Chain A
Amino acid sequence: MSMKTVNFTINGEAKSVQAESRQLLVHCIRETLGLTGTHVGCETSHCGACTIHLDGEPVKSCTMFAVQAEGKSLTTVEGLAIGGTLNPVQEGFWEEHGLQCGFCTPGMMMTATALLRTVNEPTETEIREAISGNLCRCTGYVNIVKAIQYAQRKMHATPAPEAVLQGGD
């Protein structure tokens, strides 16, 4: 198999890696670069455990080739905390018990971080729809929604409302 040189930045660092043309981006991230926070739960775009940011957009890195990252800017879960300080989404997940086994959590937080970057005050329905490509088997989602709402309040310094969740569907 022919190897290609791929250049991109990841979590702010410029990288040049050798990748087989068929190598999935998630394997490049996990195995070539050793960033194992991005997980694999299906390899078929269903679970979202592999979600990263590609030029700021959430993408499922299991259904992209590494070579497609050429020239892009990537962020993984390892790039969320700045200088060891958790970002508001990470903090929200901790405060609101938005994770249990933690396997879905990196992908879930990448999706949530992207959502809050684009939508200032997402409704509960918008939050649930935004994370509907990320499966979580442990939490029942209630506390994930609360975690994202926590982050939203923190980012926009709005006081906590008497939040009553409505549920999905």
Chain B
Amino acid sequence: MTQTIPMTAAAIGGMGHSMKRKEDPRFLQGKGNYVEDVNLPGMLWMDIVRSPYAHAKIVSIDASKALAIPGVLAVITGKDLEAYNLHWMPTLMSDTQMVLPVDKVMYQAQEVAAVIATDRYIAADGAAAVDVEYEELPVVVDPFKALLPDAPVLRTDKPGKTDNHIFHWEVGDAAVTDKAFAEADVVVKQDIYIPRIHVASIETCGCVASFEKTEGKLTVWMTTQAPHAIRTVFALVAGHVGLSEEKIRIISPDIGGGFGGKVPVYPGYVIAVAATVLIGKPVKWIEDRMENLQADSFARDYHTTAELAATKDGKLTALRFKTLADHGYADAAANPSKFPAGLYHICTGSYDLQAAHVEVDGAYTNKPPGGVAYRCSFRVTEAVHTIERMVDIMAHQIGMDPAALRMKNFIEKEQFPYKSVLGWEYDSGDYHAALQKAMDIIGYDDLRREQLEKRARGEYMGIGISSFTEIVGAGPSKDFDILGIKMFDSAEIRVHPTGKAIARFGTKSQGQGHETTYAQIVAQELGIPMAHVQVEEGDTDTAPYGLGTYASRSTPTSGAAAAMAARKIRDKARKIAAYLMEVAEEDLEWEPGKFTVKGNPEAFKTIQEIAFAAYTNHPQGMEAGLEATHYYDPPNLTYPFGSYICVVDIDAGTGQVHVRRFVAVDDCGNIINPMIVDGQIHGGLSMGLAPALYEEISYDEAGNCLGGSFIDYLVPTAVETPNWETDKTITPSPHHPFGAKGVGESATVGAPPAIANAVVDALWHLGVRHIDIPMTPSKVWKVLRDHGVTGS
């Protein structure tokens, strides 16, 4: 399959053009349509009563004061839902989670009751007036303690459950790995914690649920990245109370950032649906920021003991990771069903390792469900952070330059497609080229010299590298499903008689710019100007079924589907063109926008002429119209990669880490819109900087959330964010229809270890071996103090 994409004219605006975004005019003029902008006649508001305790028995709920407030129509509790068997719901990982509790709460800020009122302020008044009596229970916040024999068992709802262990999962050959470790010249070992963080999209979660009693139709406008899957989940969860899939319409309008946080079904959505069905009026529920930060959308929380083995001259030989995953009180992670630890076993990274063994255990704690996502494909960030930290530790340990150690151990370009020891088949890559390019751009050797001079003067400057391999685009349906639904995705294209087109997809943009990039794919494949291709997604009544947008899967799946559907249309167009010009199909040549008779450039039919003929003058016996649908099941995942280099200066007096420069060389294969890819990388880098230096959701012993507002949860502003320097190499995916790979999350995955490595690189000579992220000033300052630096 050829992977060089011919450049179309700018007027067509196919792949490779930095077309301005088609969605922008409405956003720029305040005409976006986000969930909170949806207002329906007679709409009611919902507010949620939440638990102040992390673990407590509910003794009683007294709603009488709330119900006495004029305008409060109902207070819904777990008991009300229990009557319909809707108080628990399944999670994506075959666990269960409460919609509303009947007897006890499991985390601080858990939903306890919902107040329905005529107005948002009255709903809030009502929520404040609901009296809940609790009896505190012992709290488990530490997943290690959760697994001790004397730990209180949290999931007493599960008959026969005698501990807080959720799952054990392992991959790789333990015996071969043990042998490689036993024979190794050098072994490094490090405990690495990747804390719980939150996507904190600027739009919180919410919905407007509207049940039309006469037709029995439920419409839900909701902040979801996966509207079709949600429809099916609703049908499965509430089928027994009469909600039938053809009567459910999920509309995901403009979404104000998702990053994985808008994949799961949160209790608030389900309660709002229950409320509209019970009351018969539309119900709006919009989380406030503190609810958002305290109750849903958490990621990471991986405690790993990592070991890496090498020969004394720096050839990596084996890897062993043992991880404890804190999933909160329910395993509601958003992973493909067969993978309780997601794609964590991509953790051999960019390196040609011949032995590896990985174990992950999941534990319940008194925290909200974790493991959702933070702009990352199913635990890839945890894998990349750990291997990239370990490679750096090994380099320092044996006195080798971290760049040289990486170069020595990279999978060679010639080894692709490369079968990793943990079972992945990497599609394509050229890791040496990407790292070399990053080193050239940043001036690596000069920086190392500068670092030596600074060190001699007692200044702390560090250089950190991360050479990551991502794994995105789930996925081949033989391996990947969510609740049994295969992870294909879809495109449907209809070309109108005048040669304009509408294209609909099973995915859902949350800022990625699908209305532009998908139009460019269609433009590339059909030669119809992208300006004339209307892209729609997010309405389950009109769009073809798909699994949605997360894990950088839109371009690898729906983007591929767009190309395949367009190619079906082109095949038909060729037949029509041959008929119109009275030549054989084989005598026609395609270039974007027209079929020309070989050897006679004057004789051609444009796609617009052909489209018109498809409705007005098509061959006898041929179906009218010009449209196609394609459900694309990728043969493999795509493996974007890159090398990042970060330079930091550390203030010895305050522990403040200043990112002086950050060079990112990314490779996502062939590019649809360079401007948008660059923007995705900028955003991803910023969401890599954030957990590296600032963000953490932590809990005190009593289970109080310590990161529950924007006062405590530090989303970087323009002031903390450096000027990202981006560049690229292009190694097309050999199996994708136009050689593209996903890109939206690469930088979030790749950036944190580059920053962390830079900080440790600055301090290694003091004896510092590792610092867990986030590397906040106070944490770094303490490390400096513990190593005898008092600084000024």
| Interfacial residues, chain A to chain B (CB-CB below 8 A) | 1, 20, 22-23, 27, 30-31, 34-44, 46-47, 49, 76-78, 80-81, 86, 90, 93-95, 97, 99-106, 109, 127-129, 131-145, 164-169
A132 to B203, CA, bound (A): 18
Contact check, A132 vs B719: say whether CB atoms are below 8 A apart: yes
Contact check, A167 vs B723: say whether CB atoms are below 8 A apart: yes
Give the residues in chain B near A141, CB-CB below 8 Å: 682, 686, 717-718, 721
Give the residues in chain B near A136, CB-CB below 8 Å: 202, 718
Contact check, B202 vs A137: say whether CB atoms are below 8 A apart: yes
Contact check, B686 vs A140: say whether CB atoms are below 8 A apart: yes
A149 to B166, CA, bound (A): 52
A118 to B715, CA, bound (A): 27
CB of B171 to closest CB in A, whole Å: 33
Partner of A169, one of B254, B675, B709, B720: B720
Contact check, A78 vs B30: say whether CB atoms are below 8 A apart: yes
By beta carbon, the residue of chain B nearest A103 is B256
A140 to B678, CA, bound (A): 10
A125 to B493, CA, bound (A): 46
A7 to B289, CA, bound (A): 30
A139 to B683, CA, bound (A): 4
Is B25 an interface residue when CB atoms closer than 8 A count as contact? yes
Give the residues in chain A near B723, CB-CB below 8 Å: 142, 164-168
Give the residues in chain A near B719, CB-CB below 8 Å: 128-129, 132, 168-169
Partner of B32, one of A22, A102, A139: A102
Contact check, A93 vs B256: say whether CB atoms are below 8 A apart: no
Give the residues in chain B near A109, CB-CB below 8 Å: 28
Partner of B659, one of A42, A140, A169: A169
Main secondary structure of the interface of B (DSSP, over half): loop
A99 to B30, CA, bound (A): 13
Partner of B257, one of A138, A164, A169: A138
Is B512 an interface residue when CB atoms closer than 8 A count as contact? yes
- Other A-B contacts than A132-B719, A141-B718, A142-B682, 9 sampled, CB-CB below 8 A, are A39-B203, A78-B29, A102-B511, A131-B717, A135-B710, A137-B687, A140-B724, A142-B724, A169-B720
Point out which of B24, B39, B709 has the most chain A C-beta atoms below 10 A from its C-beta: B24
Contact check, B24 vs A93: say whether CB atoms are below 8 A apart: yes
Contact check, B721 vs A140: say whether CB atoms are below 8 A apart: yes
Point out which of A23, A100, A106 has the most chain B C-beta atoms below 10 A from its C-beta: A100
Contact check, A37 vs B202: say whether CB atoms are below 8 A apart: no
Give the residues in chain A near B121, CB-CB below 8 Å: 1, 20, 22-23
Give the residues in chain A near B257, CB-CB below 8 Å: 100-101, 103, 137-138
| Given A39-B256, A142-B724, A144-B718, residue A137 in contact with residue B201 (CB < 8 A) | yes
A109 to B25, CA, bound (A): 13
By beta carbon, the residue of chain A nearest B512 is A100
The contact sample of 30 A-B pairs, CB cut-off 8 A, is: A30-B36, A36-B34, A37-B29, A37-B30, A39-B34, A40-B286, A43-B289, A44-B709, A49-B202, A76-B30, A78-B30, A86-B25, A100-B257, A100-B513, A100-B680, A102-B28, A102-B32, A103-B202, A103-B256, A103-B511, A128-B717, A136-B202, A137-B199, A137-B686, A141-B717, A167-B659, A168-B719, A168-B721, A168-B723, A169-B722
A99 to B21, CA, bound (A): 10
Point out which of A30, A90, A143, A169 has the most chain B C-beta atoms below 10 A from its C-beta: A169
A37 to B257, CA, bound (A): 16
Is B23 an interface residue when CB atoms closer than 8 A count as contact? yes
By beta carbon, the residue of chain B nearest A81 is B29
A76 to B686, CA, bound (A): 28
Give the residues in chain A near B254, CB-CB below 8 Å: 101-102
Contact check, A31 vs B30: say whether CB atoms are below 8 A apart: no
| Given A102-B511, A131-B718, residue A37 in contact with residue B675 (CB < 8 A) | no
Give the residues in chain A near B255, CB-CB below 8 Å: 101
A103 to B201, CA, bound (A): 9
CB of A33 to closest CB in B, whole Å: 12
Is B652 an interface residue when CB atoms closer than 8 A count as contact? no
Contact check, A46 vs B711: say whether CB atoms are below 8 A apart: yes
Contacts of B29-47 to chain A: CB distance below 8 A: 29-34, 36-37, 39
Contact check, A97 vs B32: say whether CB atoms are below 8 A apart: no
Give the residues in chain A near B20, CB-CB below 8 Å: 94-95, 97
A141 to B39, CA, bound (A): 32
| Interfacial residues, chain B to chain A (CB-CB below 8 A) | 20-21, 23-34, 36-37, 39, 120-121, 199-204, 254-257, 259, 286, 288-290, 510-513, 658-659, 675-676, 678-687, 709-711, 715, 717-724
Contact check, B722 vs A93: say whether CB atoms are below 8 A apart: no
CB of B489 to closest CB in A, whole Å: 20
A53 to B213, CA, bound (A): 43
Contact check, B25 vs A94: say whether CB atoms are below 8 A apart: yes
A30 to B35, CA, bound (A): 13
Contact check, A101 vs B29: say whether CB atoms are below 8 A apart: no
* A-B contact number at CB 8 A: 202
Give the residues in chain A near B203, CB-CB below 8 Å: 39, 41, 101, 103
Contact check, A135 vs B256: say whether CB atoms are below 8 A apart: no
CB of B737 to closest CB in A, whole Å: 25
Closest 4 CB pairs of A and B: A37-B30, A103-B256, A101-B511, A102-B27
Partner of B683, one of A80, A129, A137, A164: A137
Contact check, A100 vs B30: say whether CB atoms are below 8 A apart: no
Contact check, A168 vs B717: say whether CB atoms are below 8 A apart: yes
Give the residues in chain B near A49, CB-CB below 8 Å: 202
Give the residues in chain B near A38, CB-CB below 8 Å: 30
Partner of B682, one of A34, A81, A140: A140
A29 to B320, CA, bound (A): 57
Point out which of A42, A46, A47, A137 has the most chain B C-beta atoms below 10 A from its C-beta: A137
Contact check, B722 vs A86: say whether CB atoms are below 8 A apart: no
A97 to B677, CA, bound (A): 11
Contact check, B120 vs A27: say whether CB atoms are below 8 A apart: yes
A41 to B205, CA, bound (A): 10
Point out which of B27, B659, B675, B718 has the most chain A C-beta atoms below 10 A from its C-beta: B718
Partner of A44, one of B200, B681, B711: B711
A141 to B716, CA, bound (A): 10
Partner of B31, one of A37, A138, A144: A37
Contact check, A132 vs B39: say whether CB atoms are below 8 A apart: no
Give the residues in chain A near B31, CB-CB below 8 Å: 37
Give the residues in chain B near A93, CB-CB below 8 Å: 24, 28
Contact check, A47 vs B202: say whether CB atoms are below 8 A apart: yes
By beta carbon, the residue of chain B nearest A145 is B718
A46 to B20, CA, bound (A): 30
Give the residues in chain A near B676, CB-CB below 8 Å: 97
CB of A116 to closest CB in B, whole Å: 15
A145 to B721, CA, bound (A): 11
Give the residues in chain B near A106, CB-CB below 8 Å: 30
| Given A94-B28, A97-B679, A139-B682, residue A36 in contact with residue B721 (CB < 8 A) | no
A86 to B29, CA, bound (A): 8
Contact check, A169 vs B658: say whether CB atoms are below 8 A apart: yes
Partner of A90, one of B29, B286, B722: B29
| Given A43-B288, A94-B21, A169-B722, residue A140 in contact with residue B30 (CB < 8 A) | no
Give the residues in chain A near B199, CB-CB below 8 Å: 137
Contact check, A101 vs B201: say whether CB atoms are below 8 A apart: yes
A168 to B685, CA, bound (A): 14
CB of B287 to closest CB in A, whole Å: 11
CB of A40 to closest CB in B, whole Å: 7
A145 to B724, CA, bound (A): 12
A31 to B45, CA, bound (A): 13
Give the residues in chain B near A144, CB-CB below 8 Å: 718
| Given A37-B31, A141-B718, residue A94 in contact with residue B24 (CB < 8 A) | yes
Contact check, B510 vs A101: say whether CB atoms are below 8 A apart: yes
Give the residues in chain A near B687, CB-CB below 8 Å: 137
Contact check, B23 vs A132: say whether CB atoms are below 8 A apart: no
By beta carbon, the residue of chain A nearest B24 is A94
| Given A102-B256, A138-B683, residue A47 in contact with residue B710 (CB < 8 A) | yes
A9 to B20, CA, bound (A): 34
